[in-house]
Amino acid sequence: MDLKIEPLRLTDLDEVMRIERLSFPNPWTRGMFENELKNPVSFAFAARAGGERQGPGGIIAYSIFWIVQGEAHILNLAVDPEWRRKGVALTFLQSILDFMRPRTVFEVFLEVRMSNIAAIRLYKGLGFREAYVRKKYYGDEDAIVMKLEM
Ligand SMILES: CC(C)(COP(=O)(O)OP(=O)(O)OC[C@H]1O[C@@H](n2cnc3c(N)ncnc32)[C@H](O)[C@@H]1OP(=O)(O)O)[C@@H](O)C(=O)NCCC(=O)NCCS
């Protein structure tokens, strides 16, 4: 999957909010994204289709993560429903892990809903392991905390 990956900008947030609302039962608000774009420990990237599939150039995936003292935490990741099951998340996450490596990240954490089989399979495919459970993390559901040792 050929992707064009760039830092997320404020002007991208209309597109991001559309995908966010289609992707999560409790979507982030626009204000939450705006805060992350101002947060010095936060990194935000958007992916567009590259190569021959470039098309009109809209965002097809985005991710937000923090890097703090050798530890990364992936806060958000979503792929446009029309672009799922094509390897977008796998390629995008591999690029994000490549971005983290020279920044001396040695552990990556994330939370995932226990019922989110698609995401759990994706993360396990990249080498993440289930670390522990956070009870009622989402209010209505437990989170599995997953961890990757780099
Ligand atoms: C989870 C999500 C990011 C996966 O994105 P994607 O681009 O469709 O994933 P990929 O095509 O790169 O799939 C990579 C692997 O993940 C797993 N996977 C992805 N979608 C899956 C599904 N619907 N069912 C089962 N496994 C799935 C598979 O192992 C897949 O490999 P395969 O296609 O060779 O079987 C996407 O479904 C999404 O945006 N979901 C809503 C938001 C979300 O749950 N984000 C994660 C929060 S922690």
Give the predicted TM-score (pTM) of the model: 0.96
Domain residue spans of the chain: 3-149
Percent of the chain with pLDDT over 70: 95
The tens digit of pLDDT for each residue in 90-126 reads 999 999 999 999 999 999 999 999 999 999 999 999 9
Helix axis angle for 88-100 and 117-125, nearest 10°, is: 50
CA-closest candidate to residue 28, choices 72, 77, 81, 80: 77
Does the pLDDT of residue 57 top 70, yes or no? no
Does the pLDDT of residue 51 top 90, yes or no? no
Of the two residues 101 and 54, the one the predictor is more confident about is 101
Question: Is 138 known to be catalytic?
Answer: no
Does ligand 1 lie within 6 Å of residue 16's CB atom?
no
Does ligand 1 lie within 6 Å of residue 82's CB atom?
no
Question: Is 111 known to be catalytic?
Answer: yes
- CATH fourth-level superfamily of 3-149: Gcn5-related N-acetyltransferase (GNAT) (3.40.630.30)
Closest ligand 1 atom, residue 112 Cα: 48
